[in-house]
Amino acid sequence: MNVLILGSGGREHPFAWKIAQSKQLQNLYIAPGNAGTAHCGTNVPVAVDDFEGIKNLVWEKDINLVLVGPEDPLVKGVHDYFLNDEVLKDVPVIGPKKDGAQLEGSKDFSKQFMFKHGVPTARYATFTKENVNEGLVFLDTLKPPYVLKADGLAAGKGVLILDSLDEAKKELKSMLLDSKFGSASSKVVIEEFLKGIELSVFVLTDGKSYKILPAAKDYKRIGEGDTGLNTGGMGAVSPVPFADDAFIRKVEEKIVKPTISGLNKDGIDYRGFIFIGLMNCSGEPYVIEYNCRMGDPETEVVIPRIESDLLDLLNGVATQSLDKRNFDVKKETATTVVLVSGGYPGTFEKGKEVTNFDSSKESIVFHSGTKQEQEKVLTSGGRVFAVTSFGNSIEEAVRKSFVTAEKIQYQGKYYRKDIGRDLL
């Protein structure tokens, strides 16, 4: 088979790395890819939302399956574009159509979906500029902290958690009346604050059956001890010690099954990954959010733990025969430590030369924001690498990641040295 992966980040490299190991693979292309994916297949300079460029690529390279990494092309309808095109309509796309992608593309849609299908989640209400005053009154009925969410995609920045009622009211007005997050905040979801520990569960579905992939915990803040600004993710651990078999069974019964059957009842033919952000509230799972894709850096620990052939599983999704595919998971713990550019998540410089990233025997060095320029590899984003290692414990795995992280050289390198520590 010839496979095309869309994306260029720390999520797409492990996809490419894993698919490159498949016996079913002939040629692998990544659009646009990064300096790491170039070692798993061929990078092609086509943007993830350049649908016409993607069409030409699929035609030229005789692609048999497309795996979509990021949410943006899914929410913009890349899968629908394929289905509506004479040339592309029989090429399977892994990733939901526009309707299913709304689970991530609209917080209001996903909350309505959860309430309709009995999926446990925080109580909420949605407001627009027409009823902003009702929103202010609703805030009065809640206890702090206050959770305000821009309805649409806001590059991971659309959620505000505020301790003061005055601040929450001010922000609600700024989101609705002053378009704080552009059109993404023309609707705002206000919801109850859930107290607990966060983790993520990933599901791969062909619309009928599903496989629950390994769970992961990520580290969102830039600073050690979970302090400072939010980032895309500074590290991840899988499995999650507090998500034992009994907890995952609860997640399956209370969340995964009603989600899959809810999609069916609503006529949404969903084929792809569902990333379920959860809060473990005294042993009970509640959904914080759905994403219509895998997570980054969670993919960097989840995919390496899958022992089975990922391309075989994706073929199962494409042909709705996922239930017949082999699915085994490694028992060992995987950890990943993310190396970022100095200044991230604020302003940072790109184009720094990277050395010593390809000699590690103990870790897999996944590339996130890198690019090849002639002989050199340069930084090209905030998150530069995700260093994944295995061990019989979190301690053992993360120690290896730190040894490798220390060796990698570029100006301004920073990483958190406490990944996994809270779980020991």
Q: Which residues bind ligand GLY (CB under 6 A)?
A: 218, 233, 291, 295-296, 298
Q: Work out how close the CB of 388 gets to ligand GLY at its nearest, in angstroms, rounded to a whole number.
A: 14
Q: How many angstroms separate the Cα of 102 from the Cα of each of 109, 132, 146, 324?
A: 7, 23, 24, 28
Judging by beta carbons within 10 Å of its beta carbon (0-12, 13-18, 19+), is residue 4 exposed, middle or buried? buried
Residue 149-168 contact track with ligand AMP, rule CB under 6 A, x = bound: x---------x-x-------
Using a 10 angstrom Cβ sphere, with 0-12 exposed, 13-18 middle and 19 or more buried, the burial of residue 49 is: middle
Q: Minimum distance between the CB of residue 376 and ligand GLY, rounded to whole angstroms? A: 28
Give the C-alpha separation, 68 to 78, whole Å. Answer: 9
Smallest distance, Å, CB 359 to ligand AMP?
35
Return the amino acid letter for 91. Answer: V
Among ligand GLY, ligand AMP, none, residue 233 binds (CB under 5-8 Å by kind)? ligand GLY
Q: Both tokens of residue 259?
A: 């989600």
Q: Which residue's CB is nearer to ligand GLY, number 11 or number 79?
A: 11
Shortest Å, Cβ 182 to ligand GLY: 19
Q: Which residues pair with 391 in a beta bridge?
A: 333
Residue nearest to ligand GLY (CB): 295
Q: If contact means CB under 5 to 8 A according to the sort of partner, which of ligand GLY, ligand AMP, none does residue 414 touch?
A: none
Residue type present at position 368? S
Judged by beta carbon, residue 260 or residue 338, the one nearer ligand GLY is: 338
In the complex, the smallest distance separating the C-beta of residue 70 from ligand GLY, rounded to whole angstroms, is: 9
Euclidean distance between the first and the last CA atom of the chain, given in angstroms as a whole number: 43
Element (H, E) at 18: helix 12-19
What, of ligand AMP, ligand GLY, none, does residue 398 touch, CB below 5 to 8 Å by kind? none
Closest CA to 16 of 317, 375, 366, 410: 366
Residue 153 identity (one-letter amino acid):
L
8 vs 291, which CB is nearer to ligand GLY? 291
**Shortest reach from residue 289's CB to ligand AMP, in Å:** 4
Classified as helix, coil or strand, 47 is coil
CB atoms within 10 A of CB 109: 19
Chain positions 250 to 279 lying near ligand AMP, rule: CB under 6 A, are 277
Partner interacting with residue 198 (select from ligand AMP, ligand GLY, none; CB below 5-8 Å by kind): ligand AMP
Choose the one of ligand GLY, ligand AMP, none that binds residue 296, judging by a C-beta under 5 to 8 angstroms depending on kind.
ligand GLY
Task: Annotate each residue in 176-215 with x if it binds ligand AMP (CB under 6 A) or - if it does not, as one string.
Answer: ---------------x-xx---x-----------------
Q: Chain centroid to CA 325: how far?
A: 23
- Conformation bin of residue 118: beta by default, left when phi > 0, alpha when psi is -120 to 50: left
Give residues in contact with ligand AMP (CB under 6 A). Answer: 122, 147, 149, 159, 161, 191, 193-194, 198, 277, 288-289
